[in-house]
Structure 1
Amino acid sequence: MELALGGDPRTDVLRRLHAALIARFGQIERQHEKRVDPVWTLVQGVIGARSKTAISNAATDRLLQRFGTWEAVATAHVETLTDELRTQTFPAQSAERLKACLQAIMAERGEVDLRHLSNLPTEDAMAWLERLPGVARKISAGIMNTSRFQRRAIVIDSHHRRIVQRMGLVPPKADTTRAYDALMPILPDEWSAADIDEHHLLVKKLGQTLCRPSEMLCADCPARPDCATGRASLEH
Structure 2
Amino acid sequence: MARTTSARVSSAFRLRSSHGNFFLAKKGRIHYDCRMSVQEALEGTREAEILSGMEESYRRIDEKQGAWKHAGAPLCIEGCGDCCTGFEPDILESEALYLAAWLIDNEPERASAIADGSYRPPEGRAQGTCILFEPHSPLHCTAYGGRCLICRLFGYAGDYGKDGKKRFRPCRFYPEDKLRLYGMEHRQYHEDELRQLYGTLPPAMADCMQQALLLLPGSSGETEPLREILPKTIRRLQWILLCTGGRNGGGNAGPQSA
**Structure-2-length-normalised TM-score:** 0.25
Larger Rg: 2
Structure with a larger share of its residues in helix: 1
What is the TM-score normalised by the length of structure 1?
Answer: 0.27
More strand by share: 2
